[in-house]
A and B are shown apart, each in its own frame.
Chain A
Amino acid sequence: MRSILALAVLLAVAPLLIVPLGGYHALLSEMVIFAVFAIGFNLLLGYTGILSFGHAAYFGLAGYTMGLLLIHSDLPLWAAMLAGVLAAGVAAVIIGLLIIRKAGIYFAMLTIAFGQMFFFVAMRWKSVTGGEDGLSDIPRKTLFGLDLSSPVRFYYFTAVVCLAAAVVAWRVIHSSFGDVLRAIRENEARCAAIGYDVRRYKLASFVIAALFAAVSGTLYVLLLRYAFPQTMDWIRSGNVVVMSLVGGLGTFSGPIVGATLVTFLNNYISFHTRYWQLVMGVVFVVFVMFFPRGIAGYVLEARRRFRR
């Protein structure tokens, strides 16, 4: 629980730190929003050991659904967000049921295929999604009468959601359900032999990660007040894999560290050089080759050794 407290304190003081660090409040919101995505994704990749390259589809689907409802209906913000998350959840259950029996590379390829399907629908269904131009001027409305229009207020809204997401993830990880997920990661065959319905657990993990992605997607669309096809292409799905790896797979704080760091660096380096993607590529390669356990993985190990 100490990590949760530390996270709460960090989230609370972050707006004071970000400006001297060369950032700004909308960037901070973005960092926190991707942390939510990565926290959920870590349950799937880090704890269950399933690699998906298509979770941006749920991120984008939730964002589009919420955006369309906010534009075309009188639903309040919370209801539109909930509807977006539910829509993504339903899609994840259906797609998960179809593909969860596959493993490894076949599974990863199928997630890309389904993810790209959503991307192309958003790109081509011009009359509804606005096609390449996307959905613009999405109203942010108010949350239970609370005005979210200032960047700082909106940040605190995302921070609260992020904290809630971390608490949920913490409960999942430290439950017997979480133990089964880890068992699947370590040895799927043995786990099945003991009598667990491995497929159901994997599906649950897949859907939970999609729900986190969906929450993150609704926040992202609210931040930009704009939904566009690239929210769901495989590059964004790949980004969250990078975030998880840089932060540290299978650690609680890893995805948060990775998501905030990668988002900040992307923004920071792209201002200084037009070859920023190259720099980020090198960072990623260095991490995979030399620090496969990610930042959090090494910090935790160092702490363990220090205590001993």
Chain B
Amino acid sequence: MAKKKSGSLSRREFVKVLGGGVIAAAGPTIFVPSRAWAQGTGPIRIGNIEPLSGPYADSGLDEMEGAQLANEDWNAKGGVLGRKIEMITEDAPSNPGIGVQKAKKLVERDQVDFLTGTLTSSVTVAVSDVAATAKVLFMAFGSHADDTTGSRSHRTTFRTTNQNYALSTATATWVAKNWKPKQVYHLTADYVWGHSARASMNRIFERFGVKEAGNDLFPLGTSDFSSYLIKVRGVKPDVLVVNAYGADQINCVKQFKEFGLGSNMQLCGPLSGTPMMKGIGTAATGVWGLSWHSTVDTPGSKKLRDALMKRYASSKKPEWRPSYRHYLGYVTHQQLLEAIARAKSTNKCAVIKALEGHKFDGLKWTQSQWRAWDHQNVQDVIVAKAKRDASWKSEDDYFEILGHLSGAEAYPDEAMWKQMGGRPLEPMSEIGC
């Protein structure tokens, strides 16, 4: 009994020591009182929400790095309106609830002037709603879903990346014109993004007289595509359309190659990018829609690529190149800070006005524009061929750019946007302007 007692006593002491240690270590950081900042004189605070853990962690990190570079550029010039830019990044893996919590935290506790970031559509629209309620300007980097600037649009939200409709239009147009297929077969991820991608592709295909030979819906997170691919082999379409993103796209394209279907038909899809091609590896094939790639040959893109390489390449593998996620983060922050400078104010009403309808160099071929009535960044859509052969040297070589469709041609007009369920933005008075 006595023995047992002394044993548990020492354990108690251990607890004390450990507890004391934890408090001693954490105390100085935990007990920092929330900083007092005077509005208008301190730094401009931007709350950035990214998935830094979970399946999209790599893309989230890329976006953060891009945004960081834009901030650093401005800070090196003395900031905006004489104020430095301070970015607070919060991790929200692809879970809208955490996105909402983090957005609330940034607005309530850190009292940020602006919100930026997010990648998946579900987190983006959730954060967009929080921002609208809190009347804070939110610049969304990612989310390709049409809803983000359509049926779920807000006056306080702008979206940088290409929307689905535009990506599908550009890809389908290129495929119809160059491959002249008679019939196509769709493999579609069974959720809103997949469905809308297929509908947008078919809209173009119909215009060119291309028939849909069939469509299979597969659940998100499918790893085995053999049953679908066997069916496709039987139907013998000219083109297989893969309406899938992320792991689904990776698995589908890999198995397409394993089945040897590449010799019978072509493959295309509305959206891909460096993150997917890393997973697909040597099975890379197909023609895809892109928002940006490191080999875009405009002077602006070359400059951005060099700047990103200079800033980040030393900490990466030698074959590493900036991804389109870097581009999205950089362009968004660059645009936001420039708008603050134009508006000569961090007031959201003034910044929204400065952004709406603003035309700018999106570092691609034709000018980009923040469309006033849906807050979409209307821009060139790139069509590129994926490849991975013996000549592959760096991530530059994942894609060979085939061409691009200008924003004016690729994007839905107002009538089409309404038909797709577009919701008019709230009047300025409703967000306190």
**Residue in A22, A226, A276 whose CB lies within 8 Å of B30:** A22
Check B12–A274 contact: CB distance below 8 A.
no
Q: Is the CB of A274 within 8 A of B52?
A: yes
B105 with A134: CB separation less than 8 A: no
Please, which residue of chain B has its CB at the minimum distance from the CB of A26? Answer: B104
**Is B396 in the interface zone, CB < 8 Å from A?**
no
Number of interface residues of B (CB under 8 A): 33
Across the interface, do A277 and B96 meet the contact criterion of CB distance under 8 Å? no
Whole-angstrom distance between the alpha carbons of A295 and B31 in the complex?
A: 21
A228 in the interface, Cβ–Cβ < 8 Å? yes
Would A22 and B91 count as touching, CB distance under 8 A? no
Beyond A30-B101, A225-B133, A276-B53, whether A134 also contacts B34 by CB under 8 A is no
State in angstroms the CA–CA spacing of A148 and B156 once bound together. Answer: 24
**In the complex, what residues of A have CB within 8 A of residue B31's CB?**
20-22
A25 to B4, CA, bound (A): 45
Decide: A228 and B95 in contact? CB cutoff 8 A.
yes
Near A by CB (< 8 A), chain B positions 88-134 give 90-91, 95-97, 100-101, 104-105, 108-109, 121-122, 125-126, 129-130, 133
Given known contacts A21-B30, A26-B101, A133-B96, is B126 in contact with A226 (CB within 8 Å)? yes
B contact residues around A271 at 8 Å (CB): 90-91
B53 touches which of A20, A23, A24, A275 (Cβ 8 Å):
A275
Instruction: Tell me which residues across on chain B come within 8 A of A239, comparing CB atoms.
Output: none
CB-based contact A230/B97 at 8 Å? yes
Contacts of B35-80 to chain A: CB distance below 8 A: 52-53, 57, 61
Complex Cα gap A268–B22 (Å): 14
User: Which residues of chain A come closer than 8 Å to B91, judged between CB atoms?
Assistant: 270-271, 274, 276
Whether B108 pairs with A25 at a CB distance below 8 angstroms is: yes
Q: Find out whether the CB atom of B192 lies under 8 angstroms from the CB atom of A126.
A: yes
Contact B90–A270 (Cβ < 8 Å): yes
Q: 8 Å CB contacts to B: which residues of A246-302? A: 267-268, 270-271, 274-277, 291, 298, 302
A26 & B129 in contact (Cβ 8 Å cutoff): no
Interface of A is mostly: helix
Chain A interface residue number, banded: 35 or more
User: Are B12 and A132 in contact, CB atoms less than 8 angstroms apart?
Assistant: no
Which residues on the B side are within 8 Å of A230 (C-beta)? 95-97
How near does chain A come to B105, taking the closest CB pair, in angstroms? 6
A27 at the interface (CB under 8 A from B): yes
The answer to whether B53 and A228 touch across the interface, beta carbons within 8 angstroms, is: no
How far apart sit A291 and B16, CA to CA, in the bound complex (Å)? 12
B191 is an interface residue with CB less than 8 A from chain A? yes
Name the residue of chain B whose CB is nearest to the CB of A151: B108
In the assembled complex, the Cα of A136 lies from the Cα of B12 at a distance in Å of 48
- Chain B residue numbers with a CB within 8 Å of A143 are none
By beta carbon, the residue of chain B nearest A291 is B15
In contact, A226 and B129 (Cβ under 8 angstroms) = yes
Kindly list chain B residues whose C-beta atoms are within 8 Å of the C-beta of A134.
96-97, 122, 126
Whether B34 lies near A22 (C-beta < 8 A) is yes
**CB of A179 within 8 Å of the partner chain:** no
Q: How far is the CA of A27 from the CA of B30 in the complex (A)?
A: 15
Contacts of B133 in A (CB 8 A): 137, 225
* B1 interfacial contact with A, CB 8 Å: no
Of B12, B34, B147, most A-chain CB atoms within 10 Å: B34
Q: List 6 A-B contacts (CB under 8 A).
A: A22-B31, A133-B121, A134-B97, A226-B126, A267-B105, A271-B90
Interface residues of A (CB under 8 A from B): 19-27, 30, 126, 131-134, 136-137, 151, 224-226, 228, 230-231, 267-268, 270-271, 274-277, 291, 298, 302
Which 8 A/B pairs are nearest by Cβ-Cβ distance? A24-B109, A274-B52, A136-B129, A228-B96, A132-B122, A224-B100, A230-B95, A26-B104
